[in-house]
Amino acid sequence: MLETNRSELGVMKLTEEVLAIVAGIAALEVEGVAAMSGGFTGGIVDMLGKKNFARGVEINFKDRSIDIYLNINVELGANIPAVTKDIQKKVRIKVNKITGAAVDSVNVNIEGVS
């Protein structure tokens, strides 16, 4: 859990799942991203008809910041370096804007082409 805001009113803490959902949604908004890649368990969840926006996202907590790891599939014909750069920018900005968490790095692993 990451503590991001302490004030006279109390403390705000963010769980890994909340951060992963925000990062996953941001990545899916990038043109050229076909899907998040979550391996075998992610496939089972999809077959059950449930959306898991945290699929394929790993969050590593540091003192007051986070590292984000994303596993994605890109669309056939997409410019992979450009898509990766767009993902890194969008995820960093959106996670910080929505949660206030400081993002140290956004690491993208391309697992497939759809």
Cα–Cα distance, 80 to 76 (Å, whole number): 10
Q: Give this prediction's pTM.
A: 0.85
Closest-CA residue to 58 (of 21, 29, 5, 88): 21
Q: Residues 3-60: pLDDT tens digits?
A: 777 788 898 888 999 999 999 999 999 999 999 987 544 444 454 444 678 889 999 9
67-82 average pLDDT score: 96
Mean pLDDT of the 54-71 span: 91
The most distant pair of C-alpha atoms in the chain lies apart, rounded to whole Å, by 52
Alpha carbons 5 and 14: distance in angstroms, whole number: 10
Say what angle helices 16-28 and 80-99 make with each other, to 10 degrees.
Answer: 140
Per-residue pLDDT at 39: 59
Per-residue confidence (pLDDT) for residue 21, from 0 to 100: 93
Domain boundaries, the chain: 2-113
| Fold category of 2-113 in CATH | Alpha-Beta Plaits (3.30.70)
Do 22 and 70 touch, CB atoms closer than 8 A?
no
Residue 62: which pLDDT band, with cuts at 50, 70 and 90?
Answer: confident
Asked if 62 contacts 68 with a C-beta cutoff of 8 angstroms, the reply is: no
Q: What is the pLDDT of residue 44?
A: 42
The SS3 call for residue 111 is strand
Average pLDDT over residues 87-102: 94
